[in-house]
Structure 1
């Protein structure tokens, strides 16, 4: 089994070849890293189709920007994970009213991972500062706003179905979800700027 140092050296070599537009090296890089990067995207986005979209966009970005990778600044997986994280959070911001976040499940997983006494390196990578920031921001939402977002996201309910479950007018539910998402965006923006 390759050591971390050997693995990093291999990934650096593949990134360098990818920078030279070597399709074979890029394919090998994809095969070596896509499963971990997909799992990371899925952790943030929860839905497979969203994680797949982000993974595809991320690898296009990696192909186009491999020449900008600087090994002195970050390990290859750290660099690629940052690209995936940024793409995932960009997608969350773009989705606006359609964003579906299960605050309860996401918070629980984040907190369990944070409380773990011996996370593996991959688990530690998954628990990036952004995941912690999102969990913090979700916990600051008013309970009913958070519940509306969780129902829409985790249970994949339409706004009218959420309204039925919560026994509220649909306009109220739409407003709560929209406001909750806006508060999440503002909170994340503040934390990113801090």
Structure 2
């Protein structure tokens, strides 16, 4: 599930009754000067209020993206990590405990943990034997295929092709290189001239998109 799917655009709410004598500019200034309530946003996410996630994303994602980019040194991978972080924040919001720290600190910790995991995984990938990496890659696609209805793969190849066409060309090529040509992630990165972490992120996000498209 993507962050965009988690929150849909909300219909504008009717204006509340109140003091209409205050200039609009003054109202906006007063609203903008109010500090963002991170704890309230997390509580709302825990209740399933998707608009709260949208507000939290708009408030915090630029800062988190900068933090993650400094950790992973890869802009594309950083965007994927921040995306995944907000998915995790949405799913784990109910576990936040205010007695153990601030809500903003908790959000930062979730994101930083994912970024450090990505760095560790890339370091381990660099030490992995190419044959071992290829076996790991094939095991991942086998597991994904087991979760997908085999009937669709055999009887409805047109659906698969249509879903593949929806992917960006570079991501579609990554999928083909990994699961048709049998290249390792490192070999794909070398062929495309892209960082290893970016290639891995492209493949992972592409498989998720295919799974959602196929249903």
TM-score tier (shorter): 0.3 to 0.5
In terms of Rg, which structure is larger?
A: 2
Please, what TM-score do these two structures have when normalized by structure 2? 0.42
